[in-house]
Structure 1
Amino acid sequence: MSEKLKFPPDIILTNLYTRFTETAFRKAGGVQKSKMTARYEDKLLCYMFTLCLMLDAFRVDPDSLSEDLAVTTNKVYSIFRTLGCKIEGLNKSEKEALGINGAQSKLVKRAVLNVPLVLPEPKKRKYDR
């Protein structure tokens, strides 16, 4: 990981390992091994998407993020919804700024974080009795 990140300070690597990996020990020799599970991958994506929202005035193009990160569009939409965003079409000023006509604008979506923040309700499960 150090080589991929172009040798950042040790404190950054330590914090990345602590926050986004699970640690397991091998029985023979007690060697420590870190592994990024699906849960921690989603956690990292949530952190990244939150930063994207903050940098982009709380309106982000999830399609370009899914292409850049090689993640499915549905997963990106799901994570943005978990963060409290709504997936909406472009508004009039965005259509003009991008030079997109009516037919093309229906294909482009934005993840928008509105105020006041409304988080999605947790799914209710049916329990067998």
Structure 2
Amino acid sequence: MAPAYMGMGPDFTAEEISLINKGWTFCKAAAIMPIGYGLLHGFFNFPDITRILSIVAAILLCIDKSYLSRVGIFMSAWYYLAIFACPPIYLYHREKLTGHGHALSLIYGALFAIGVLIIAVAIAKIS
């Protein structure tokens, strides 16, 4: 049973498939880690490390992009900007290129949008 991306390009070696799957694991961690921390931070009074988690999540997505380029799956250099500005865009394009479903990017995108709206409301109240 071959993964969906197997039919989308050249024949991949076992090592290349391993890189693609490792990258996908990094993508999932990059999306789930900040959300999980946010939920735990809400219930327990953890120190605020959101900036560090954002950087770690971006690094994980950059590693994934590097893995994809190593196996010949092209993603524009503009997606480095998407990793930092709007990770759901990167995730959506990554899912599209490798044949994964879009559930992760859609859920993460909705949560990302809610977070942006909450920040916008907080800024509006301060002004």
Q: TM-score range by the shorter chain?
A: under 0.3
Instruction: Indicate the structure with greater strand content.
Output: 1
Larger-Rg structure? 1
Query: TM-score w.r.t. structure 2 length?
Result: 0.27
Instruction: Indicate the structure with greater helix content.
Output: 2
Query: TM-score w.r.t. structure 1 length?
Result: 0.27
